[in-house]
Amino acid sequence: MKLVDSYEFIEKLRDLIYQLLEIRDRSRIGGDSFLRIKMGTPLVKLGFISMLKGGVIMDVTNEKQAEIAEDAGAVGVMVLDKLPYDVRASGGVARTAGLDVIQRVMETVTIPVSAKCRIGHAEEARLLEEVGVDLIDESEVLTPVDERAHINKWEFMVPFVNGARNLPEALRRIFEGASMIRTKGEPGTGNVAEAVKHMKLVNRDIATLRGYYMSGDVEALWVYAKENKAPYELVILTARLGRLPVVNFAAGGIATPADAALMMWLGADGVFVGSGIFKSSDPEARARAIVLATAYYDDPETVAEAQKMVSERSAMIGIDVRKLKPEELMQVRGE
């Protein structure tokens, strides 16, 4: 079974959910059948995410940074009001970025433009869809408004990415309509430790499920779904596929080319770099080096070349995650 085959399954899952809700006909998804053109379908959303694979999406706060990212070969930019590091430093409530800034970035670069909305804040998401953002990140970096229920993402034409710390969390987000997952890590720290932890947790659970599937132990799959509050259909799909059923990027604390290559080795389909680039003192060179190291992660010679493009003295200082108080952790928001 291949990743694109899982897209077909997710399409059926969407149909099933919509049949049960009986809102399919009124939904905006499906477009006008008279024109034969269908918009916002799962294949259109998941296909778009597939195009990002092997690439780097960079956090930016203005159009100048967005241009640097595009010239460095980024596959996308994520527009924020403040970089995660500054969100952490300033405290208070973090909200979605100003729509005027997002629009200026969209008029400046040709690559996809993403933006974050608060967890559970469907209206912020609708606004982002309205201005024409290509990908919405329902993100724990911003202050959540509803930690118990995430946004119903099936209702949107624009694809969503959600953070996850482990496999059940990722599968719950996909069940809510997320088209892409990113392992959370600990944002704004310049410390890749938590990203590694989360990626390995996801990988080990997938290996376990794959083992159950290969040995024909369906009962174990039921028990796993029940004990971990994971949607049963997606547990079986993951077990059969042997990977996450949607594209998965690594995020949270990636600061050097070697960090990016490490995450790719651990099975990430690409990386998000938040504060790592524009909190360093060599953003242009660092952005290019991280793009190169991500694309050629399996070629140590090229990664070494990329690592030489940046100086460790210029890297962001970073934060030891163990020094953060429990209430300062962003990764625990919205399970």
Partner 1 sequence: MVVVGVLSLQGDFLEHLQLLSEIDGVKALPVRSAKDLARIDALVIPGGESTTIGFLMRLRGLDSAIIDLAREGRPIMGTCAGAVLLAKRVADRVVGDTGQPLLELMDIAVKRNAFGRQRESFEVELSLEGIGSMKAIFIRAPAIVEAWGDAKIVAYVDYPGIGRVGAVAIQKNALAVTFHPEISRDTKLYEYLVSLVKK
Cα distances (angstroms) measured from residue 115 to each of 193, 235, 317: 25, 29, 25
3-state class (DSSP) for residue 224: helix
Q: Using the rule CB under 8 A, which residue among 10, 75, 181, 246 binds partner 1?
A: 75
Tokens 């997002």 belong to which residue? 102
Contact 76, 57 (CB under 8 A): yes
CB of 109 to partner 1, least distance (A): 7
Choose between 106 and 234: whose C-beta lies nearer to partner 1: 106
CA dist., res. 90 & res. 35, Å (int): 50
Least distance in angstroms from the C-beta of 38 to partner 1: 5
Active site residue 153: no
- Residue matched to tokens 């690592």: 307
In the complex with partner 1, the residue whose CB is nearer, 106 or 151, is 106
Q: Return the residues of window 240-259 that contact partner 1 according to CB under 8 A.
A: none
Among 291, 303, 316, 330, which residue sits at the site for partner 1 (rule: CB under 8 A)?
291
Instruction: Single out the segment in contact with partner 1 by CB under 8 A; choices: 70-78, 188-196, 197-205, 257-265.
Output: 70-78
Contact pick of 40, 190, 252, 253 for partner 1 (by CB under 8 A): 40
Do the beta carbons of residue 78 and residue 141 sit within 8 Å? no
Contact 270, 247 (CB under 8 A): yes
Query: Largest Cα–Cα distance of the chain, in whole Å?
Result: 60
Tell me if 106 contacts partner 1 by CB under 8 A: yes
Per-residue x/- mask for partner 1, residues 154 to 193, rule CB under 8 A?
Answer: ---xxx----------------------------------
Q: Which of 46, 316 has the CB closer to partner 1?
A: 46
Catalytic residue among 116, 153, 184, 197: 116
DSSP letter at 96 equals P
φ/ψ (deg, to 5) at 272: -100, 130
| Catalytic sites, residue numbers | 116
